Structures are given as structure tokens and as C-alpha cells.
A and B are shown apart, each in its own frame.
Chain A
Amino acid sequence: DAKTTQPNSMESNEEEPVHLPCNHSTISGTDYIHWYRQLPSQGPEYVIHGLTSNVNNRMASLAIAEDRKSSTLILHRATLRDAAVYYCILRQNSGGSNYKLTFGKGTLLTVNP
């Protein structure tokens, strides 16, 4: 599986934007970039995913570099409820059992009031 690299931890203040980076220099042309987050003692929650173009949804935005070797998850206004571990994952574009997701260590986001 193509590997991703994320900072171990980041801090933000409430109501401010947060940019969570992810490097994936070995990404293949068909890999999707997925972001999940995990709150304490809960299962992961889907945040956003993309292939080449930037993506927006109600939770966040995903900015993908032109060469696709890095991406950034953007939380436009952090809240205390956004404090979680954020995982950047590459997924092969195939179905069935190949949809298994390989989790790295992720970035622990702390949001200060």
C-alpha cells in the first residue's frame, strides 16, 4: 500500500481555520485520498475524499496538490468537537476486499478554547 506521512500532532484555537497536511509521494494514478477522523473511544468517521480536484463538503475541504504527492485537509472553523486523530489514507480504486483501508498513525488535533 502507498504510504502517507502526517505530523504526529497539531494545535489550533477554537474558531480558527486548521490545515492538516499529508504527504503521499508514492501515490499511484488511481489512488483516492481519503480522510477519516477518530474521536476518543469511538470508531473512525469519514470526513472527505478526492482523486485530483479539490473537494468541499459540509465538514471540511480537501486541497490536493497538482502532482498529487500531497494534500491538505482544511477545517474552516475549528470547534472543540473537532479535537480528534485525523487519518490520511490512500485507497486503491478497486472494489470488494480491496477496499480495505490501511491506517497510519494520523495527526492528533488539539483545539484550544
Chain B
Amino acid sequence: GAVVSQHPSRVICKSGTSVKIECRSLDFQATTMFWYRQFPKQSLMLMATSNEGSKATYEQGVEKDKFLINHASLTLSTLTVTSAHPEDSSFYICSARVITGKGNTEAFFGQGTRLTVV
């Protein structure tokens, strides 16, 4: 299957600093990527849809000025958590939509980034 790679897998940062998470499609081009957040023992919550060459679409309740998304190329989307606070500590996961054979569509997910804000 298609490979989506996230970097870093783990990051610890100080409160008030910014952290950038990269999501790359390694063997395909992704015009659309999705960013999710997952708190411990909870399900994935969609944060935003990242569109190549245009502005991201944010879900209700997600602060676009705090979670900056850039999708400058067909293989890379980045999520920057600005002015991070301990409550932003979470597992961040990206995914990309891939059109497979026979017109089917599947979503492939990155391995996730564990962010800890201290």
C-alpha cells in the first residue's frame, strides 16, 4: 500500500514554543491530506483538511491561527503548533487519500507524532 511518513515520531517542547510536524507521501502524490488529533484513550478527531496550493479547511472549534497548516507540494503537508501549551500535548496523525485500482479510494495514515509540551 501507499506510504505516508510523519516526522518526528516524538517531540518534547517547552510551553510557549512552536513545533512543526511533517507529513510526507513517499510513493504517491496527495492533493488532499488530513490532520487528526488523538488524546489518550480517545478516538481520532479531525482537525483540518489540507489542500495542496490552497488554504486548509478547519473543523469547528479548531483554532486556525494556532494550528498552522501548509501544503506547499503534492508530497508534503506540515502542521505547526504555535505557542504550544501543555493542553496541546496529544498524538497528531496525518492521512492522505489514495485512489487505488478500479476507482476505489483508501486513506493511508502516518505513524503519528507524540507531542509533549512541558
Inside 8 A of A43's CB, which chain B residues have their CB?
4, 6, 93-95, 109-112
Segment among B41-49, B64-72, B80-88 that sits at the interface with chain A: B41-49
The closest CB in chain B to the CB of A108 belongs to B41
The 5 closest A-B pairs by CB, nearest first: A43-B109, A103-B44, A103-B43, A97-B49, A99-B97
Bin the interface of chain B by size. Answer: 20 to 34
Contact A46 B44 (CB under 8 A): no
Contact A99 B109 (CB under 8 A): no
Inside 8 A of A113's CB, which chain B residues have their CB?
none
Inside 8 A of B63's CB, which chain A residues have their CB?
none
Contact A45 B109 (CB under 8 A): yes
Q: How far is the CB of B76 from chain A (nearest CB, A)?
A: 17
Inside 8 A of A38's CB, which chain B residues have their CB?
44
CA distance A45 to B45 in the complex (A): 16
For the complex, is A100 an interface residue (Cβ under 8 Å from B)? yes
CA distance A97 to B111 in the complex (A): 21
For the complex, is B77 an interface residue (Cβ under 8 Å from A)? no
12 contacts between A and B (CB under 8 A): A43-B109, A43-B110, A44-B93, A44-B95, A44-B109, A49-B104, A49-B106, A95-B97, A99-B32, A100-B49, A103-B44, A105-B43
CA distance A106 to B110 in the complex (A): 19
For the complex, is B28 an interface residue (Cβ under 8 Å from A)? no
Contact A106 B43 (CB under 8 A): yes
Q: How far is the CB of B25 from chain A (nearest CB, A)?
A: 13
For the complex, is A53 an interface residue (Cβ under 8 Å from B)? no
Inside 8 A of A95's CB, which chain B residues have their CB?
97, 105
The closest CB in chain A to the CB of B59 belongs to A100
| Cross-interface CB contact of B114 among A41, A45, A46, A97, cutoff 8 Å | A41
Contact B51 A97 (CB under 8 A): yes
Inside 8 A of B97's CB, which chain A residues have their CB?
95, 99
